[in-house]
Amino acid sequence: MSYAYHRIIRKLVVAFGNVFNNISIARYDADGVEQEHFLVPIVYGGKEKYVSRLEGDPNLDKKVQITLPIMSFEMTDMSYDASRKLNTNQRLVHADGSQNTTLAVYNPVPFNFDFDLYAYVRNIEDGAQLMEKILPYFTPDYTLAVNLVPEMGIVKQIPLILNDVSHEIDYEGDYNSKVRSVIWTLRFTVKGYLYGPVSEPKIIRSSITNILDDNTLHDKNVIFNMSSGFGNYKAGETVYQGYSYETATATAKVSNWLSAANTLTISDLSGHFVTNANVIGSSTHSTWRLNSYKIQSANTVKITITPNPSNVVLPNNYTYTTTVTEFPNT
């Protein structure tokens, strides 16, 4: 298995965080006049880490403390998505003009990546602002353009689907006491893909198509391999198997005889020739024992297609040269 690491999971994590990386909220006085406006920072981390920090500092008055509001997120799960399965035998091809090479990679494997986004705010008003900044963009999905495999030029439109929104309010003392913190939880699914290794396949420079006849075996050339015997067959004469020509069990016409190789090419077969029996020439009386045989396909047309120029590399322009060779004698 070839080594491949496209950093796709890392790219999806970064892309998810970047969606929420530029969200700001404002603070107002009793008259509705804006007093301050600031960005809400976002970091990667689980909910438990920040909840334990808040619980360890109930009044948020230590010299080193968490400044609210703040957001964090984490990838919680990933699972194979059979509903988006692609043909695993199909390859994507990309021409690298700068390197004069062609690259290929098999279709990706679909995976769903689950993310949780947490928003920690000091009061309900800050949380409401954050939700109104985020939720209108999800209906229920938001599409991300992610460059998954740069060397292949594969940029996928990745849906980011909002599945669920919930919040919890943490009070000090009884219900009527001052609110300590509000934690909003938004759950998402990222419809991503994972790619295997990129290869540099060989390019087909020539395509040859042979068109054979569709006649029966009796009209095809058959090559007999002879083991022992005497004489030389003559093209055009009739050969047979049997006690005599008149009582022959099989007959054929000689197309060619190669004495150096002891091979006899025949056509116009009639009857059934068997191995380990003599094949006799009706006029030359040549007699050879049949050892084995093979059918020689009769080629009628040969079509050869080559690119022009022959050493072209995509994405350069090229044409095709098609050569058709016919064999009328077959």
Model confidence over 30-41: pLDDT tens digits? 888 888 888 999
Indicate the Cα dihedral angle 266, 272, 275, 280, nearest 10°.
-60
- The class (CATH top level) of 8-85+106-194 is alpha beta
pTM of the model: 0.62
Domain range list for the chain: 8-85+106-194, 214-296
Q: Which two tokens stand for residue 16?
A: 């998810």
pLDDT of residue 329: 55
Amino acid at 241: Q
CA-based R_g, the chain, Å:
40
Please, which pLDDT band fits residue 93 given cuts at 50, 70 and 90? confident
Amino acid at 265: T
**Tens-place pLDDT, residues 261-294:** 999 999 888 888 999 999 999 999 999 999 998 8
273 by DSSP, 3-state: which?
coil
β-pairing verdict for 42-44 and 70-80: parallel
